[in-house]
Amino acid sequence: MKTYTFHHLMPFAAVVFLTLSFLSGCKGKSSSKDQAAAKDTVYTDLFLPDTTYASAEAIQYKIDQADSLDHPLTDLDDRYAGEDVCTFRKNMSRNGSFGGRVQGTPTDIEVAWEFRTGEDYKRTWQNTQWGGGSGWTGQPLYLKKSNEIVAGSLCSHIYFINFDTGDSTRTSLYSHNAIKGTMCYDAEYNNLYVGQGLPFEQPFGIMVFDLDKHSESQARGIDPKARRNWGAYDSSPVVVGGFLFWCGENGSVYKYQRSKGQLTEVSVLRYTVNGAAPGIENSICAYRNYGFFGDNHGNIICINLNTMKPVWYYSNHDDTDASIVCQVENGIPYLYTGCEVDKQGETGICHFIKLNGLNGQLVWEKEIPCGRFHHGKSVDDGGLYDTPLLGSGDAKGMIFASISRNGADGKGDASGQFHAFDTATGEERYMVQLDRYAWASPVAFLNENNEMFILQCDCGGKMYLIRATTGEVLVKKQVGMNFESSPVVVGNAAVIGSRGNTIYKVVVK
């Protein structure tokens, strides 16, 4: 394997572009990073330029390549446009609408079925036991053709469930180690890509299952070249331009060539910032040939998916586990994300931000005080864990996220808040107090009048149905034990796993 080492590159290639100036009306802090690039540049060519901005000088990196070929993206077609849900938040921008539909104004959340997973009480290297059900992010997949829910579990099994009845459709697959994150289905090869979250046995890393054979076809353990000796993958991979991109908690970003039952390493980005190699737990977000991710130290990084080189860098203060959401506005990709209160100590600030995805410039920033929640010997950090939800229908121009305040608001040690912000200005439209903090990502339903309703689940097992435009809570219902996982939506129903050993299908009525 050939190794190429880079520290920083000045811009060396550009594509023909059209610059459009418009008044954004945004308020907030200005970025102290890149001011060199015009923030309102719109690129009309399909591929974004092979450019590295000065902010990326903060990154020390190396790219391992399997050979001397460039391996450019073959196309940028949207492979996630159908009814299948094949990766976390449905598409490569992590902003996918699941297409949830309801009639009129919903007034109830009804449990349609409950599926029991196994339970595994083997101890990990940290001497912890995880049982069954599902954890963070744990979003199930949905395969329309077979009408199946595909769900990974903390008990190390992958379950195939009939969406209508809640019955098993196939024998479960065994992943040897607990699954916390969201899997990824590759319809082109009928592969299932699974990241392991907690080690019970070796190898500990990623797995590929050939669903035609309904069996394991590949397992890759801890990467000896990684900057961190930890094999977990809570990140959900995504296919962009024919290649699979996958971030690891070992501090590496992988570009794989796909084939039947196999992944073949093409190139790997390995990096440090200020001498540290943070792990990556969020799922890489992509727009055209640019990929965006955050890490455990709050570094927000954009890379060129063709070359794997950094394009820009932004520091967002603290651990960033929630996946970045991308939305194109007036021809420009904008990013939304936020950090936790982890490295800051017992109390601190969740910095919820909007960035220009082309150059990493800050558009606006909201600062939300948060704290840690102590329960027994365990500690849960405050801040953002769920992936934000963009408004649609009558709530277009809004973005929604739950923030784990954890006592910072004076309302209890496990408190959470559901926030609605204006996407243009960052102004808070409203806040809904939750009984507990929430790690599950909110999901949307639209009715025949294009009115938007939001389903939010919390870590106390409650479900909330919220009118998107006003924050009115239409339904609050105790359903499960602890919803850390994010739901998948099909029609007027959602499927979500809980801690314990239960996966629920609920119908919004």
Residue 167 lies in a domain: yes
326 close to 335: Cβ distance less than 8 angstroms:
yes
Decide: residue 28, CB within 10 A, 0-12 exposed, 13-18 middle, 19+ buried.
Answer: middle
Residue 84 lies in a domain: no
Q: Write the CATH number for 178.
A: 2.130.10.10
Residue 149 lies in a domain: yes
Return the sign of the alpha-carbon dihedral for residues 177, 183, 186, 187: positive
Q: What is the pLDDT along the chain (509 residues), one digit of tens a residue?
A: 443 333 333 333 333 333 333 323 333 343 334 433 445 688 888 999 999 999 999 999 999 999 999 899 998 988 999 999 999 999 999 999 999 999 999 999 999 999 999 998 887 766 678 889 999 999 999 999 999 999 999 999 999 999 999 999 999 999 999 999 999 999 999 999 999 999 999 999 999 999 999 999 999 999 999 999 999 999 999 999 999 999 999 999 999 999 999 999 999 999 999 999 999 999 999 999 999 999 999 999 999 999 999 999 999 999 999 999 999 999 999 999 999 999 999 999 999 999 999 999 999 999 999 999 888 878 889 999 999 999 999 999 999 999 998 878 655 578 899 999 999 999 999 999 999 999 999 999 999 999 999 999 999 999 999 999 999 999 999 999 999 999 999 999 999 999 989 999 999 99
- Rounded CA-CA distance 504/166 in Å is 9
Strands 252-259 and 215-220: unpaired
Residue 76 lies in a domain: no
Residue 453 lies in a domain: yes
Residue 27 lies in a domain: no
Token digits for 456?
């939010």
Residue 92 lies in a domain: no
Count: domains in the chain = 1
Return the sign of the alpha-carbon dihedral for residues 350, 354, 357, 362: negative
In the sheet where 100-101 sits, what is the strand order? Answer: 100-101, 443-446, 452-457, 462-467, 473-478
Q: 239: domain range?
A: 2-20+38-70+98-508
Which residues pair with residue 120 across a beta bridge? 131
Q: Which amino acid makes up residue 72?
A: P
Residue 90 lies in a domain: no
- DSSP letter string over 53-68? -GGGGGEEEEEEESSS
Neighbouring residues of 159: CB distance < 8 A, sequence distance ≥ 6? 115, 117, 149, 150, 151, 152, 153, 168, 172, 503
Neighbouring residues of 63: CB distance < 8 A, sequence distance ≥ 6? 3, 4, 5, 6, 267, 268, 269, 270, 307, 308, 309
